[in-house]
Structure 1
Amino acid sequence: MPDAAPATTAAPSHARVWQHPEFRRGAREMTGIALGLAAWGLVTGVAMVKSGLPIPLALLMTFVVFAGSAQLASLPLIASDAPIWVVWATAACVNLRFVIFSAGWRPYFGHLPLRQRLMHGYFTADLNYVMFMRRFPEPRPTDEQGPYFWGGVAINWVTWQGMSLLGIALADRIPTAWGLGFAGTLALIGLTGSLLVDKATWIAAAVAACAAVAAFALPFKLNIVVAIAAAVAIGVLLDHFNPSAPQAGKAAS
């Protein structure tokens, strides 16, 4: 009797995706952390307008870039007329973690057509990656993974974009004295804390923090780039010397 064909996540219909129990589970689990996402999205929307971006460009940025950390890292550079290569390099360095995410997701979604993989890449975010890996620790494709992914995306993308648009619309009405930047920082610290799950991630975070402080005097907030480079380097080293640790390869993110 021939072996059964391996399960895949490929191409269930839209109706099946929306109706699948894993879609509801992914949405429900992402809802639990949506408050932090909402705060950070609101801060990013306000920051884009406060930094001098016209509203059309702010709208374009929030929908095209869809990466809050890259947006916030590049905004002060744009406002200070930094060279365009510095803006691009900073955004690219801040988003290096998505290379790691892509490598982690390859065993699950690598078999999909290019168009679907590009869609997954656009909607990928830090926390839906973390939630997905907790739900599916074994790196092999199954039918449940697609609906779970899109359930988390539905909450993550709508929450972020909705609050970012609200921040853009209300930026001129929200006083700077409200300290939204600090609130956003607290939200990001809370989200980052949920990613520190083992020794490798704690080490990478500590190295990044020390590097950011040590390089604080650099212009154009390049200390962020230094911190990211340090975290990636230590993550690669941890993965090299301890490849059996399940989280070592993800430490740099």
Structure 2
Amino acid sequence: MNMPLPPQLPPEGALPSRLGNWLSRRIDGWAHTARHPLYWVGVRDMAGVSVGLAAWAFMTGVAMVGSGMSVGESVLMSLLVFAGSAQLAALPLIAAGAPLWVIFVAALCVNLRFLVFGVHLREYLRFLPRGKRIWLGYFMGDMTYVLFIRRFPHPAETERQRRAQLSYLWGGNCWNWLSWQSLNMLGIFLGAALPARWGLEYAGTLALLAVTCSLITSRVRALAALLAGATAVLAMGLPYRLGLVVAIAVAVLAAVWLERWVEAARKPEPEPDHG
């Protein structure tokens, strides 16, 4: 009679060894990338603009604690949801006890621009395996995308050019992630430690309002911001703070339509053919 064999367990120390090998490969890969001169050019370029994002990162951390989340939950959200706009859109919904699908839709609406970024970067990064592209996408930010496209208007054609572009992108991404997380964590712990009467949340709201106003650089954006604000006020009575989602949708649709209308108006009319 054949007795069933007991399940084979991995040898002692195999899992820690496997994790150690994975970490070793990641560190070696980062060190290889960091040795490229353009990696530090990316760090320098991103450091020049990250000062303006410091207030946003800090006040987002304060807002997370102020919305009723614990310090642990706020830290976890900061690490898993590396997107300040998505965090700010989700926080009032979390505080209101909104269903998960409503929170997901709100975060998706404010981050639709990353879908456009991904489509644009496809030709730049298609040589990477899917897992590495997903990993790189987690670190991608608005300004790192803008700086990367400004320096490299066209995808690389050779292996040497690919390494140069990827090194620059990783330099900006790493600095952006470290600076954001540092200021975000500072806001979380200070927001939890300082007394509520200090009005840190109100100061955070003013800082975020200033950052938002600085992004309104055209008439189309100004009109979209006004429509979003008016819609949010009119839809304030909707349950689960759905007025925010409606305001975002109205602003996005209005901005897209207005931009198309402006582009069509700028096109010169064809001259009549007099034969």
2:148, 2:168 within 8 Å by CA — same for their partners in 1? yes
User: Aligned partners of 1:101, 1:36: CA distance in 2, in Å?
Assistant: 21
- The one-letter amino acid of 1:66's match is F
Partner of 1:85: 101
Q: For 1:48-63, what aligned pairs fall within 5 Å after superposition?
A: 48-63=64-79
Partner of 1:146: 166
Report the structure number with the largest CA radius of gyration: 2
User: Aligned partners of 1:228, 1:66: CA distance in 2, in Å?
Assistant: 22
Please state how far the C-alpha of 1:121 moved relative to its aligned partner: 1.1
User: Aligned partners of 1:117, 1:81: CA distance in 2, in Å?
Assistant: 34
Would you say 1:171 and 2:191 are equivalent positions? yes
Q: For 1:98-137, what aligned pairs fall within 5 Å after superposition?
A: 98-137=114-153
User: Aligned partners of 1:147, 1:153: CA distance in 2, in Å?
Assistant: 10
The answer to which of 218-227 and 137-146 deviates more is: 218-227
SS across alignment from 2:98 = coil
Residue of structure 2 aligned with 1:94, choices 100, 110, 122? 110
User: Aligned partners of 2:261, 2:32: CA distance in 1, in Å?
Assistant: 41
SS across alignment from 1:179 = helix
Partner of 2:5: none
Would you say 1:218 and 2:235 are equivalent positions? yes
Please state how far the C-alpha of 1:140 moved relative to its aligned partner: 4.0
Please state how far the C-alpha of 1:221 moved relative to its aligned partner: 5.9
User: Aligned partners of 1:127, 1:184: CA distance in 2, in Å?
Assistant: 17
Please report the TM-score for the alignment, with normalisation by the length of structure 1.
0.79
2:220, 2:258 within 8 Å by CA — same for their partners in 1? no
User: Aligned partners of 2:180, 2:118: CA distance in 1, in Å?
Assistant: 21
Residue of structure 2 aligned with 1:185, choices 209, 230, 237? 209
SS across alignment from 1:222 = helix
Q: How many residues align?
A: 225
- The one-letter amino acid of 2:47's match is T
User: Aligned partners of 2:181, 2:117: CA distance in 1, in Å?
Assistant: 21
Call closer, same or farther: CA 1:116–1:36 in 2, change over 3 Å.
same
Q: For 1:221-240, what aligned pairs fall within 5 Å after superposition?
A: 222-223=243-244, 225-228=246-249, 230-231=251-252, 234-235=255-256, 238=259
Call closer, same or farther: CA 1:84–1:152 in 2, change over 3 Å.
same
Would you say 1:156 and 2:176 are equivalent positions? yes
Please report the TM-score for the alignment, with normalisation by the length of structure 2.
0.73
- The one-letter amino acid of 2:53's match is L
Call closer, same or farther: CA 1:26–1:107 in 2, change over 3 Å.
same
User: Aligned partners of 2:85, 2:91: CA distance in 1, in Å?
Assistant: 10
Unaligned residue ranges in structure 1 (runs of 5+): 1-11, 197-201, 244-253
User: Aligned partners of 1:14, 1:84: CA distance in 2, in Å?
Assistant: 36
Please state how far the C-alpha of 1:134 moved relative to its aligned partner: 0.7
Call closer, same or farther: CA 1:236–1:213 in 2, change over 3 Å.
closer
The answer to which of 226-235 and 37-46 deviates more is: 226-235
Unaligned residue ranges in structure 2 (runs of 5+): 1-27, 265-275
User: Aligned partners of 1:235, 1:127: CA distance in 2, in Å?
Assistant: 21
Call closer, same or farther: CA 1:61–1:80 in 2, change over 3 Å.
same
Seq. identity, % = 39
Deviation string, structure 1 residues 189-213 (Cα, Å, up to 9, x no partner): 43x35xx5xxxxx365234213203
Call closer, same or farther: CA 1:152–1:229 in 2, change over 3 Å.
farther
- The one-letter amino acid of 2:128's match is L
Would you say 1:27 and 2:43 are equivalent positions? yes
- The one-letter amino acid of 2:71's match is I
- The one-letter amino acid of 2:211's match is A
